[in-house]
Structure 1
Amino acid sequence: MKLMRLGNRDEAKTPCILDAGGTLRDVSSIVADFTPTTLSAALIETLKATDPSSLPAVSADGKRIAPPVAQPRNIWCIGLNYSDHAAEAGMDIPSEPILFNKSSATYCGPNDPILYSPRMTKLDWEVELGIVIGTAALNITREEAMEHVAGFVLVNDLSERAWQLERGGQWVKGKSYPNFCPTGPMLVTPDEVGDFNDLDMTLDVNGQRMQSGSTAKMIFDVPTIVSYMSEFCQLEPGDLICTGTPPGVGAGMKPPVWLKPGDEVRLSIQGLGEQRQAVVETSGGRP
């Protein structure tokens, strides 16, 4: 099952499923929206049992693709979770997952602009596999973890490296500018993703391939991450967990390469769709 939402920011969204033929189907007769409150195993089963041809077809032409689930309660991240990225960063492979958060204002649609502040100097990209929690999880085992996962999404975990690494404090400072977490275009359920431990990942900047990796290089896999996090906090329905990035980030280039206004970023993960973002300078709020 592939879940999508259409609609502008601060307006009601149209919840859709993408059928096997690639047609979007409006499911608002079944659920008003995909939210942390409505997202559930029961809803997914209801959608799977519904004949897509019985639902109205809808076109995305000229419409904003919203994140596939409405605003999550929490956005979690795992740092240095790819062995080849840790080597690129010159850091030791962590013995336990490195956890941090992103501000809720980072959450945006897959093609929304990347906002560039005049105070930024080292804006960087990170293609990542995102986990969306389906049912609350607290103190669960690794074997139970997938029972709590609604599906997977494509994420760009944008980072301002000077703020993250040179301004003191925790990483969250360089991870939390508005629109720093483009998510989507779709949420894909685990049964349709297939082997989420071996998905190809790519990211291009201005048409040049920067990142080319695979989730097979993750140090801590999806069940391990979900189980591990549930020891310290309760994962809530709709929560997004960004699971780390492969090598090829701007900070790892020699010399480093940073995003600037006018740049275009395109990224994809096998089976999860593609994002396309323009870097836009702003000194005010989100467009």
Structure 2
Amino acid sequence: MKLGSLKEGGRDGTLVVVSRDLSRAVRASAIAATLQAALDDWSNAAPRLNALAAELDAGTASGAFALDTAALAAPLPRAYEFVDGSAYLPHVERVRRARGADVPESFYVDPLMYQATSAGFYGPRDPILASSEDWGIDLEAEVVVVTDDVPMGASSATAASHIQLVGLVNDVSLRGLIPAELAKGFGFLQSKPRSTLSPVLVTPDELGDAWRGEKLHLPMRTWINGAWFGEAETGVDMQFSFADLVAHAAKTRPLGAGTIVGSGTIANEDTGKGASCLAEQRTVETLRDGKPSTPFLKFGDTVRIEITDGAGRSIFGAIEQTVTRQAPRG
């Protein structure tokens, strides 16, 4: 099934079940007011939501309506936790090689991960807000999973059973602010603003054989200002599965229902597939030409991120945003 949230009913939106073709939806308020409420009681809510999804796709759901993507908030407008990994090591290897550094052996057995911003997510058509182009505004096209309650110390095998939803995220980065923050030795803060979730999140069974080994196996397609930018393969060169990433996050603490776990920027050894972030493209250019030539995003630029199935049908809906100036507030 596919789940989304309308921009109504308060800060956490109103839960809707969305048809497989993304054209129609029905409010699920009789089951759960919000997606977070559904995840809090997933064992009871999921079967009822599945039944409603079957009615919607059969054309028998009462109250169904035509879906306007612009009316959607992020499926989880805010989450208790968002942890983001860096599971695609070709990206890490290239970035480090560009500055003359090797990849530590530990990176191949112990995932990189940081605590990301979760207090608010942009909806799929909301603008990317920034106050200065000098901040180095960048997109990062990633896959995410959402869990139910995960016990502390869960193994990868156990963690796999707690992955309930899959989606996309544009994990916006401000590259110009990152070096100074990392130099402090305390991690990201100002350089990682709000991110954007795909119009819907889907249960793994919706993905068929494209979901195997707790990885998604489809191309991540990105466009900037309508021009093709990349279609990196999500199932290729992913060093750690989502089960591994969830288990890593839960090593010393339980994860609450609604925890979002990100894959990190999709990147392949084959650079002919394009890139999923501007920093990756600029690194490829630096290694090839001695300097980057692709600029970071400017005000007015548009970004589109989408994954389609083998028949060209959008699975999660498209993230489509415009970079917009946010005037500083006194």
Alignment TM-score > 0.5, same fold? yes
Q: Which residue of 2 aligns with 1:109?
A: 123
Q: Which residue of 1 aligns with 2:31?
A: 30
Structure 1 counterpart of 2:300, from 243, 262, 265: 262
Q: Which residue of 1 aligns with 2:188?
A: 172
Q: CA RMSD in A?
A: 2.3
**2:67 equivalent to 1:57:** no
Separation in 2, partners of 1:150, 1:176: 26
Q: Deviations over 1:113-160 (max 9, x none)?
A: 101222743111110001111223321111112221121111001111
Structure 1 position 244, deviation (Å): 0.8
Q: Which residue of 2 aligns with 1:188?
A: 202
Q: Which residue of 2 aligns with 1:210?
A: 229
Deviates more, 1:119-128 or 1:31-40: 31-40
Structure 1 counterpart of 2:83, from 67, 76, 79: 76
Separation in 1, partners of 2:9, 2:228: 30
Separation in 1, partners of 2:136, 2:85: 20
CA contact (8 A) 1:251 1:257 kept: no
CA contact (8 A) 2:146 2:261 kept: yes
Q: Which residue of 2 aligns with 1:118?
A: 132
Q: What code does the residue aligned with 1:263 have? A: D
Aligned to 2:35, the other structure's residue is in SS state: coil
Structure 1 position 278, deviation (Å): 0.3
Q: What code does the residue aligned with 2:71 have? A: R
Deviates more, 1:241-250 or 1:83-92: 83-92
* Structure ID, larger Rg: 2
Separation in 1, partners of 2:116, 2:134: 17
Q: Which residue of 2 aligns with 1:227?
A: 247
CA contact (8 A) 1:102 1:175 kept: no
Structure 1 counterpart of 2:151, from 137, 153, 160: 137
Deviates more, 1:251-260 or 1:125-134: 251-260
Structure 1 position 272, deviation (Å): 2.2
User: Structure 1: any 5+ residue segments left out of the alignment?
Assistant: none
Aligned to 2:188, the other structure's residue is in SS state: helix
Q: 1:12 to 1:219 in 2, by over 3 A?
A: closer
Q: Deviations over 1:47-99 (max 9, x none)?
A: 113333233112333852111124211111113x2133223323527231111
The percentage of counterpart residues that share the same residue type is 25
Separation in 2, partners of 1:43, 1:159: 35
Aligned length: 282
**2:324 equivalent to 1:280:** yes
Q: Which residue of 1 aligns with 2:47?
A: 45
Q: Which residue of 2 aligns with 1:2?
A: 2
Q: What code does the residue aligned with 2:233 have? A: S
CA contact (8 A) 2:173 2:191 kept: yes
Q: Deviations over 1:181-233 (max 9, x none)?
A: 10121010011123332121011111222232122121111111111221132
Separation in 2, partners of 1:206, 1:119: 16
Q: 1:203 to 1:142 in 2, by over 3 A?
A: same
Q: 1:11 to 1:105 in 2, by over 3 A?
A: closer
* TM-score in terms of structure 1 length: 0.89
Q: What code does the residue aligned with 1:264 have? A: T
Q: What code does the residue aligned with 2:25 have? A: L
User: Structure 2: any 5+ residue segments left out of the alignment?
Assistant: 98-102, 268-274, 286-291, 309-314
